[in-house]
Structure 1
Amino acid sequence: MDLLVSTEWLAEELGASDLRVVDATQFMPDDPRNALEEYEAGHIPGTVFMDLTNLIDSHNPVPNMLPPPEKFASRMQSLGLGDGSRIVLYDDSPIKSAARAWFMLTMFGAYDVAILDGGLAKWKAEGRPLAQGREMLRHRHFTVWKDDKAVRNKAEMIANMSSGAEEVVDARSSARFTGQERDPRPGVAPGHIPGSRNLPYSELFNADGTYKKGEDLKATFAAAGIDMEKPMVTTCGGGMTAAVVAFGARLLGKKDIALYDGSWAEWGTDPATRKATGAACVA
């Protein structure tokens, strides 16, 4: 599969024995919408629901951190996702949460993972069929694996401020990045990691919710002053939309991409970390 698949492609492939379709919708904590209830009310036929709110390290005080490999593998097996599966992810969320599921699946060893371009909204807009209720698939073995090279921790981010070896790209809104708008979580300082660039994740999408592609996507990264020749680390508020920017860079063929999992939820609450406000200097 390609990294990004169309609704037309998925409609033709539905029912294939090795294909697994996954609703990976998640909302921000202050959003009143309920992802599971919406899935049960209407989803692409054959789709299982991945509960991202519980795919976390529940013992880590930083919110939304990656789960241990064994926990992740167990949850995937229970969803019927396993070795040899082609997995297509979608969401119906403003934060484009399918990208977080893509990041986790690929980091934990899945090889054939794609995102549905335009998500459930495009599928519905085209009048394609929906199913109701909750779907269950037969358990399938998922090999426990974790490749840490795609993840950065706080110590590595601090070291990178001195070395400048990796381009840090912040996926939050410009108001959050500059510090004009404070973080909604209590005790979190405003601003951004010094030296980082700002590329709000929403800028990677067309008006219809599909990803920008080709030259349009390249131009979006260039307008943010991002050097695509350097290794990239993406960050955001809590590790969610950072995955959207990582996925966008991957669409352009970039492979040296990592994600700072603690993101601003960790950095912004530590009084010892340096913080910058105002706009980044765009080269």
Structure 2
Amino acid sequence: MSVTNSVENTLKRATLQLQESGSDSPPLDAAVLLCHALDKPRSFLMTWPEKELSAQELAPFEALLARRLTGEPVAYIVGEREFWSLPLEVSPTTLIPRPDTERLVELALDKAMLSEGSILDLGTGTGAIALALASELPNRRVVGIDLMADAQQLATRNATRLSIANATFLAGSWFEPLEVGCQFAVIVSNPPYIEENDPHLSQGDVRFEPLSALVAGDEGLADIRHIADNARHYLIDQGWLLFEHGFEQGLAVRNILLELGYQDVETCQDYGHNDRVTLGRYLKQ
């Protein structure tokens, strides 16, 4: 008896191929790619597992699958990734938003509740952090900055698609695009923090992401140090600075903040119980 091209069998075959290629989530990858190729919701796969797929339906799926089998991230293949329940357009010019970064959003929201004022997201990429904060705080101004004009334009498109009107995006190096005298109650950043020779750069999805958004000098701490130093001029009195960083960098980032005069410095863990976010409060002298 020949094997049919039903939805169920197509998913099974793709899942097996993805397992052999080293995917971390073969069944999910197969389902997302097939839904994208068919332009159908996930519920379609569960409702019609016996539906036979035509050659015209299979061809675009096989093309997408071939890209994933080379290791290309699913988010780049389908052009979208959900973050904080927001569907975000993504592209190879930006990092793919990751669930662990939602911990940074949670902590930034906690600190934003302590005082009024605008919020700044440095290295905004897709705008994920800025848009998550803006969606939760519709009466607060949120500004996102990215060095790459392509990223700034992408984040702006995401804001428009999501009808989030209180987030604006600028292109430039860190604080450079801001007007003189700008002050923020909260500054957040998920900056480059990986060392140049880190072996993880040649593994998994990271291989396809822009190095400029991943790698920093000084053992991965150069951009964190630069931001922490300059943020003191842009924070309101008792404003908060929060960083996402590598799981082994908590102590180093705390030391940077303490050396620069930040108070109430602490490191918080992500959902995997790894050090992930370090924050501090700056008091004007």
Give the TM-score taking structure 1 as reference length. Answer: 0.30
Per chain length, whose mean CA-contact separation is higher, i.e. which structure has more relative contact order (CA < 8 Å, sep 6+)? Answer: 1
Give the TM-score taking structure 2 as reference length. Answer: 0.30
- Structure number with the higher strand fraction is 2
Look at both structures and tell me which one has the larger radius of gyration over its CA atoms.
Answer: 2
- Structure number with the higher helix fraction is 2
